[in-house]
Structure 1
Amino acid sequence: MATLASGEASKRIVTLDIIRGIAVMGIFSVNITAFAMIEAAYFNPPAYGGAEGANLALWVVNLIFIDGKMRSLFSMLFGASMLLVIQRAEAKGQSPEKLHFSRMAVLFTIGWLHYHLVWWGDILKDYAIIGCIAYFFRDKPVRPLLIFASLFYLLGMLFFGGLIYQIVEWDHAAHAPGATQGAIREWNEFASFMYPTAAEISKDLALHRGPWTGIALHWLLVKPFSWVQGTIMFGPETLGLMLFGMAGYKSGFLTGNWANRRYARWALVGLILGAAASVAVAYADIQSKFYVPVVFGGFVVALAPFRVLMAAGYAALIVLLTRNLGQLALRFAAVGRCAFTNYLGTSLIATFVFYGWGLGYYGYAERWEAWLLVPPVWVLMLLWSKPWLERFHYGPLEWMWRSLARGRAQPFRRRGPAETVSS
């Protein structure tokens, strides 16, 4: 018997928690660059943080195995968990619509505060908005869910494909003989995102090495709606991923109900194809000297279908490796049950380490040096989550989200012993 510290152990689907826990840990591995240095460094190593040796190797490893894959997996798990909450509300005779939109409203508020007051890379507000749309697909069977998911995902790819075409046009127009000032300006406005000037870098460093008030005011007053563009641009992809997750839940794929051989096939095909495509994109990026259309197009268009395949492959592999619910698997499950707290907690830890209101290492560490913060934070997630859940029903922020969404304080402190699940 393996202990599962949960006030709702008999009702929870532990597989979802385990996959979610691993996904939120993986996301921090790639987000660390966006915490530690200028935004352009995330996509373009030569922009900042080092593009040779260990720095380049780390970027390549993250691109092949983690970047985009864990976010895709996390988005799929959000769709699956959202459907689970809706179904439980219906089973209890509650209004699923009222509960769902209340949860999304609270999530958006927390995400908005996270974005403006803590870190610009927030995804919670985006999940809240897209989650409101995904609600209307809740009753669809598996096959229609997969069809709609594929269509929305394809729509996102087509949008970005058109954008890449436009970027190439801007490039050619700006560098053609006799290029107009307007053409040059259009190219420079986009290229500055990937190739920031020394003045732009200095401005960014000064902002993030300064006091918290300066950073907060920048996002509150200077760029209060800059997140809207990203939400719209990545909306179709995110919706597609959530619907894939809902289909994965209904089909039993994400809940561990398939046979081992079937999971093994998905893991083998998904991981091999996804990794091979990622290797090809990494090679193309390096060979092109990180040319904007190649880097951007490779990541958001060429790798898009392979990210889904690899995310599914990871999910299948995780199910296979955690069948017996050993102690390590239960540690990951606890991280997943506290994913909301762990996700926001990483923002607080990383911004404290790098931003000026904390230790102030922003822009000083190379890429590999910044990543050294990742393993200790992983260990911290694994250490605190399970003991906490042995004493409390929910993670602290999970409890807050649940209480605010339901309009009353939920049970928090555990009074009885932890329930058990057969291993």
Structure 2
Amino acid sequence: MPESSPARPVDAGERVLLLDVLRGFALGGVFVSNAYMHLSGNGLLPRERGQALKASWWDATADFLFEQLLAGKAMALFSFLFGLGFAVQLGRAEARGASIVRVYSRRLGVLLLIGLLHRFALWYGDVLAMYAVTGFALLLFRGLPHRNLLVWGLALIFGGSLAVSAVLKLVPLWASSPDVVRDFAQENMAHSRLIRAQTLAAFQSGDYLTMARANLDFSLSFTFRPLQVSHMLVTLGRFLLGLLAGRLLLFQDVERHRPLFRRLFGWGLGAALVGSVAGWLIPRLLKSGTLPSSLNLPWRVIQPSIWELSVLGLAAVYAAGLSLLFVRPRWRRGLSLLAPAGQMALTNYLSQTVISQFVFYGYGFSLMGKLGAASCLALMSGLFAVQVPLSHLWMARFRFGPVEWLWRTLTYGQRQPMRRPSKHPTRDMAPTA
């Protein structure tokens, strides 16, 4: 058995440019989604105020397109790439003849600390802590055959959400009368509205400590709930699909797998259409009485799985479509503009929270609850367009984003070299594509 070499971060020459492009694309979608759905206050506003922000036809159209094309899809792709990244790390560890467990566990431990700090000091919607906790489960699946990874991934995505939904919707009815369930639901909704109103007021207050205290209370109030279990199961399923893609080296050699990517694009588009049309049409048919009311409960049980079908389908369309375009030289040059943003995705993700709070919170421009859907989506898309060239400027001079550097330094227990090697005696130059 060959002697194992010490663990180290991925060198620039070892990176797969397409993966950085996909990560940058997903990061842009995550930025817009988080800002529009949460940090703008949309999730905290009373229903009437939220609807008023979508009253005009252009705002209603923008909201509809966001729901169908972006909501949940960017995060699904982001999660998939996390699992794929684990496959890359696992492959490198095996090539060195080393075990991945120790370094990977330290890596997740540091990510957990960063995520908890982000969650409790800035924003209750952090996903890093959940990624870190769920990421440990990947170690249990790393030895499974390819087919088993596919089955487990799909089972967790669809079966996990279905099981949790069934427990939430059916068990209370079996344990109590419908009247008791209705009264409990109404009481729970009233309590939720009170917490959201208090949190909204704190976020608009203009005082960081007031915001941080309310954010902490809100985070603790909604963290340990069954829907969080569903989210973790679905996320683990996405990780496993990414692990499978990484094992098969799909994105390292797109040209070789072009027929598979074309089929994936077609299958994904079909699944997205079925899930989206069903998710939009069936609730309206039930509300209008076209479908019998007896189908209301079964629909509410399966609705999360239908949603996941549309999310997974469109995420597959984006991944496959961008990969097929990337093999074309002209498209490759254009898409490569996203790569630096993807290389420093952790730094950009955390900075997006700060940017969004500066735009919407009381200690910034205080725009929470004041922008219509179209204006909000356009503004956040524009801000991400600014992040991209800033990422170019940073990555032209440094090997890592600042938070990535801290993450790697703490993971490997030694200070990592930050600046890129100088190619000129008087100045650093960016590497050519």
Kindly indicate whether the alpha-carbon contact (under 8 Å) linking 2:44 and 2:199 is maintained by their aligned counterparts in 1: no
**Residue 416 of structure 1: how far off its partner (Å):** 3.4
Determine which of 17, 33, 36 is the counterpart of 1:30.
33
SS class of match (1:357): coil
Q: How does 1:233-272 map to 2 (within 5 A)?
A: 233-257=230-254, 258-272=256-270
Q: Name the residue aligned to 1:121.
A: 125
Q: Name the residue aligned to 1:63.
A: 67
Kindly indicate whether the alpha-carbon contact (under 8 Å) linking 1:351 and 1:358 is maintained by their aligned counterparts in 2: yes
| Cα deviation code 1:290-334 (max 9, x no counterpart) | 999799767622121332222122111010111137332221121
Q: Find the aligned partners of 1:127 and 1:187 in 2 and give their Cα distance.
A: 30
Sequence identity percentage = 26
Kindly indicate whether the alpha-carbon contact (under 8 Å) linking 2:156 and 2:236 is maintained by their aligned counterparts in 1: yes
Gaps of 5+ in 1: 1-5
SS class of match (2:387): helix
Q: How does 1:274-285 map to 2 (within 5 A)?
A: 274-285=272-283
Q: Find the aligned partners of 1:228 and 1:339 in 2 and give their Cα distance.
A: 27
**Residue 59 of structure 1: how far off its partner (Å):** 2.1
SS class of match (1:303): helix
Q: Find the aligned partners of 2:138 and 2:65 in 1 and give their Cα distance.
A: 33
Distance 1:47 1:188, change over 3 A: farther
Aligned: 1:146 with 2:153? no
Q: Find the aligned partners of 1:59 and 1:415 in 2 and give their Cα distance.
A: 46
| Cα deviation code 1:125-148 (max 9, x no counterpart) | 010000001122123232121122
Q: How does 1:11-410 map to 2 (within 5 A)?
A: 11-33=14-36, 34-39=38-43, 49-50=53-54, 53-163=57-167, 165-166=169-170, 169=173, 179=179, 182-192=180-190, 202-210=197-205, 211-221=207-217, 223-224=219-220, 226-229=222-225, 230-257=227-254, 258-285=256-283, 300-323=304-327, 324=329, 326-410=332-416
Instruction: Tell me the amino acid that sits aligned with residue 280 of structure 1.
Output: A
Instruction: Tell me the amino acid that sits aligned with residue 266 of structure 2.
Output: L
Q: Find the aligned partners of 1:295 and 1:59 in 2 and give their Cα distance.
A: 23
Distance 1:45 1:297, change over 3 A: farther
Computed over aligned residues only, the root mean square deviation of the Cα atoms, in angstroms, reads 3.3
SS class of match (2:224): helix
Instruction: Tell me the amino acid that sits aligned with residue 244 of structure 1.
Output: L
Q: Name the residue aligned to 1:412.
A: 418
| Cα deviation code 1:54-112 (max 9, x no counterpart) | 23222211121111221111111000102212332343455411111111111111111
Instruction: Tell me the amino acid that sits aligned with residue 317 of structure 2.
Output: G
Kindly indicate whether the alpha-carbon contact (under 8 Å) linking 2:161 and 2:304 is maintained by their aligned counterparts in 1: yes
Distance 1:165 1:392, change over 3 A: same
Q: Find the aligned partners of 1:359 and 1:281 in 2 and give their Cα distance.
A: 36
| Cα deviation code 1:265-301 (max 9, x no counterpart) | 3213312431342143234456667999799767622
**Residue 338 of structure 1: how far off its partner (Å):** 1.2
**Residue 373 of structure 1: how far off its partner (Å):** 1.9
**Residue 12 of structure 1: how far off its partner (Å):** 1.1
Structure with more relative contact order (C-alpha pairs < 8 Å, separation 6 or more): 1
In the alignment of these two chains, the number of paired residues is 406
Distance 1:201 1:118, change over 3 A: closer
Kindly indicate whether the alpha-carbon contact (under 8 Å) linking 2:195 and 2:218 is maintained by their aligned counterparts in 1: no
Instruction: Tell me the amino acid that sits aligned with residue 33 of structure 2.
Output: V
SS class of match (1:356): coil
Q: Find the aligned partners of 2:218 and 2:125 in 1 and give their Cα distance.
A: 16
Q: Find the aligned partners of 2:232 and 2:152 in 1 and give their Cα distance.
A: 14
Gaps of 5+ in 2: 1-8, 424-429
With 317-326 and 347-356 compared, the bigger mean Cα shift is at 317-326
**Residue 353 of structure 1: how far off its partner (Å):** 0.8
Distance 1:167 1:371, change over 3 A: farther
SS class of match (2:143): coil
TM-score scaled to structure 1, two decimals? Answer: 0.85
TM-score scaled to structure 2, two decimals? Answer: 0.83
Distance 1:361 1:45, change over 3 A: closer
Q: Name the residue aligned to 1:3.
A: none
Q: Find the aligned partners of 2:13 and 2:317 in 1 and give their Cα distance.
A: 27
Distance 1:41 1:234, change over 3 A: farther
**Residue 118 of structure 1: how far off its partner (Å):** 1.1
**Residue 162 of structure 1: how far off its partner (Å):** 0.5
